[in-house]
Amino acid sequence: MESHHCNIFRSYVLVLLLIVFLGSKFSLSFSGSLLSLNEEKVRLTLYYEALCPGCEDFVVNDMYKIFENGLISIVDLKLSPYGNANIGPNGTIICQHGEWECKLNTVEACAIYAWPTVSDHFPFIHCVESLNFEDKYTEWETCFKKLNLDPKPVTDCYTSGIGHKLELQYADEIKALEPPHMYVPWVVVDGQPLYEEYEDFMSFICKAYKGSNVPQACHGLTDPIIAHKDNAKPFNHLVCFNEEDKVKLSHLEIVSKAIASWMDHVSW
């Protein structure tokens, strides 16, 4: 009788061990699948500032499209609202387009902090940038009502000083870029800046994607390398250069004009 009970006990133990083993195998397999899916996503980062015309235009008229055409399913999107600002005395931030830009950069940083999921914070940022695009930036708070959002998480973040700390973190991130950013919007795909080709960012995303679930939106897009080489577009002058590169660009333009003038007067 005792031997019978021992056999039953051993059977229970074996069954439990088998359940634990299979459960761990399934868990590892499931985790591995999730990890694989995350690894397949293309990293897309937008470095921008709230009141730069080129940034407003890009967010309002270009970036929103990846949420409509399904491309967001293969994209790990990060927004960095700081741009060409500078750190002044005592940690104060001086923005390229004045105090309102500093305020809106911080508001958008707080939105990202309050609603970390990109599908939650992007609609708010798109709404604010749409108002900026229409020169109605003082009406940014209407976006809470338009999107049926509770303003408290964002306003608490802004008034508590957390938003300022977030901006200092974004400052460190953009200053650490290699190669350094020259202007905003500065669009980076898997660590590679797109320079003046940033408006073709969807083509670069599709080219960088190595997974098997290719979105329909990728089909028919032009190879970005071929487009860059054979069909170069004029540079978008809506971008906002940082001060150092603005000086370099001015010097380059002066030299270019001098050379062009000299060549016009040279007789061959």
pLDDT tens digits, residue range 169-228?
999 999 999 999 999 999 999 999 999 999 999 999 999 999 999 999 999 887 776 444
Task: Write the CATH number of the domain with boundaries 38-265.
Answer: 3.40.30.10
In angstroms, rounded to a whole number, what is the distance separating the alpha carbons of residues 24 and 31? Answer: 10
In angstroms, rounded to a whole number, what is the distance separating the alpha carbons of residues 225 and 82? Answer: 29
Q: Average pLDDT in the 149-174 region?
A: 98
In angstroms, rounded to a whole number, what is the distance separating the alpha carbons of residues 134 and 35? Answer: 41
In angstroms, rounded to a whole number, what is the distance separating the alpha carbons of residues 164 and 110? Answer: 9
Predicted pLDDT at 34: 41
Span of 11-15, 62-66, 153-157 with lowest mean pLDDT: 11-15
Instruction: Give Cα separations from 123 to 108, 143, 148, 178, 222 (angstroms).
Output: 11, 9, 11, 29, 28
Q: Which residues pair with 43 in a beta bridge?
A: 76
The pTM (predicted TM-score) of the whole model is 0.76
Predicted pLDDT at 244: 60
> Which tokens hold the place of 144?
């809470």
Instruction: Give Cα separations from 142 to 151, 155, 253 (angstroms).
Output: 10, 13, 42
Amino acid at 219: H
* Structure-model confidence comparison of residues 221 and 264, the more confident one: 221
CA angle (81, 238, 242) in 5-degree steps = 55
In angstroms, rounded to a whole number, what is the distance separating the alpha carbons of residues 118 and 43? Answer: 13
Nearest residue to 219 (alpha-carbon basis) of 232, 207, 235 = 207
Domain range annotation of the chain: 38-265
* Structure-model confidence comparison of residues 243 and 58, the more confident one: 58
